[in-house]
Copies of this chain bind each other. A is one copy, B any other.
Amino acid sequence: MQYTNNKVSDVKIAYVGGGSRGWAWKLMSDLAAIDDVSGHVDLYDIDYEAAQHNEIIGNKYGSAPTAKSKWTYTAKKTLEEAVEGANFVIISILPGTFKEMESDVHAPEKYGIYQSVGDTAGPGGIVRALRTIPMMEVIAKAVEKCAPNAWVINYTNPMALCVKALYDTFPKIKAFGCCHEVFGTQNFIARILRENCGIAVSDRSDIKTNVVGVNHFTWVTSATYRDVDIFPIYKEFAEKNKDCGVPLRHPESYFEYKEKVKMDLFLRYGAIAAAGDRHLAEFCPGSWYLDNPEQVEEWGFKLTPVSWRYVDLEDRLEKSRRLRNGEEEVRVEKSGEEGADLIRALLGLCNIVTNVNLPNRGQIPNLPLGAVVETNASFRDNSVVPVVAGNVPEGVYHLVAGSVDEQLTVARAAKERNLELAFKAFCKDPLVRLDIKTARKLFDEMIENTKEYLKEYFK
């Protein structure tokens, strides 16, 4: 790469899932909004037309008058072409279609199993993993062949299992997984500081947290803002608001929640659960928050139906059309995601310590080595090193260790294309409170529903 005056000018990025109408646009905007890195992005998507559409949109972002750097975009027909010679590979794919997601999320409902998201843990997360992991293997092999020194940033869920599959396939891969759920908790803390203590926090990243756990079920074991210890404040807030929760700004949104689950978990365990309530609930025994739709409502969050995703997709397709034909202008602005800044750090342009998903090599001593965990890590010149985040706290350890065990079994089941093994993980998931025969029935049904993407399991 070319460094001139603390700027880098010829970075090559490969975007796998480059037809994306969400994450891809955010990245295009974030890249244009930074002033010290320029380069080229190759877009690969199994839907080539979607990638072509994004080539047009990307080039608009990359050459916008408000862009602070210069980026060009090209849609590529094959994964290998896109990855070839990349310095960074970004993975953000949809494994399967909404039809499969519909099965993941809703098929369990007639068995009394409700999932608020269904893409990480629970029966939906497991089945989604089964079809995603083989795709990750293909990507990891392409990286090994075409860009073995590239940094690989994954955004795809189930996060931990995707990152694990990358490392299992190509052990020397320089991959990590990014997720914004902890940011939301930092924002929540900032809100408490502002509303309850009159402290104005200018940026959520000024709330310093120590993070331990697995993606979407991370726990903050210490949090400070300057010389302020946040725990006593959080405790007081949680005790006061545990019943009513936090007022919603957009009560109709499927994605807002009253933070009641988060406060309940804090009062149980004394650590701050650091993900959206929709995710947190899915890692707990089914009877706690997801027993039935009424209980979910009582806890102040919502079950996101896949039907909503269909509607939302229509909006995005329409927006894509408008962006392409110029009816709508691209807006260069920071999205709040950290990907572009992490790229800057890995290029040596800044230092960042933030939370990230990596194989455990000691950062969480009481979780198994090799399992993918989420903690803070130091991003610098061509290096991501986790900090010694410490043990998962007693109490929560129960649930986190269980989730890690599920991760390991599902990873192996997918690697071996072994549905029997996957079922063993399935039937002890904390949401699957079924006897073994009924669990089997549900599992078989979910596999049948999504078999088009599970062909390798039936060879």
Contact = CB atoms under 8 A, between A and B. Distances in A.
Interface string A404-445: 011011001000000000001101101001111000000000
Contact of A387 (B382, B387, B397, B405): B387
A365 interface: yes
A279 to B, nearest CB: 18
Contact of A353 (B353, B390, B406): B353
A352 B387 CA distance: 13
Interface string A377-417: 11011110111111000110111011001101100100000
A264 B427 CA distance: 12
A265 to B, nearest CB: 10
Given A208-B381, A222-B383, A383-B210, A435 B287 contact: yes
B383 A208 contact: yes
A221 to B, nearest CB: 11
Nearest to A223: B381
Nearest to A284: B428
Contacts of A433: 285-287, 433
- Count identical subunits in the complex: 4
Contacts of A399: 402, 428
A1 interface: yes
The contact size tier of chain A is 35 or more
A225 B288 CA distance: 46
A455 interface: no
Interface in A199-234: 206, 208, 210, 222, 224-227, 229
Given A385-B210, A387-B387, A424-B268, A366 B365 contact: no
A409 B424 contact: no
A367 to B, nearest CB: 9
Contact of A224 (B291, B348, B353, B406): B348
A contact face: mostly helix, strand, loop, or mixed: mixed
Contacts of A388: 361-363, 385-388
Contacts of A401: 397-398, 401-402, 405
B1 A227 contact: yes
A376 B427 CA distance: 30
B412 A405 contact: no
B385 A348 contact: no
Contact of A425 (B285, B387, B395): B395
A41 interface: no
A111 B427 CA distance: 24
A389 B385 contact: yes
Interface in A333-376: 347-348, 351-353, 361-363, 365-366, 368, 376
A425 B394 CA distance: 10
Contacts of A8: 226
A449 B110 CA distance: 39
Nearest to A286: B433
A227 B348 contact: yes
A98 interface: no
A333 B436 CA distance: 44
B378 A395 contact: no
A357 to B, nearest CB: 14
Given A227-B348, A398-B402, A401-B401, 5 more contacts: A222-B383, A287-B434, A378-B378, A394-B405, A394-B412
Shortest 8 CB-CB contacts between residues of A and residues of B: A401-B401, A398-B405, A226-B348, A208-B381, A224-B381, A287-B433, A397-B405, A398-B402
21 contacts: A1-B226, A3-B226, A222-B383, A224-B381, A225-B348, A226-B347, A226-B348, A227-B347, A285-B433, A288-B435, A291-B435, A351-B352, A361-B388, A376-B378, A394-B409, A395-B409, A398-B402, A398-B405, A398-B406, A401-B401, A402-B402
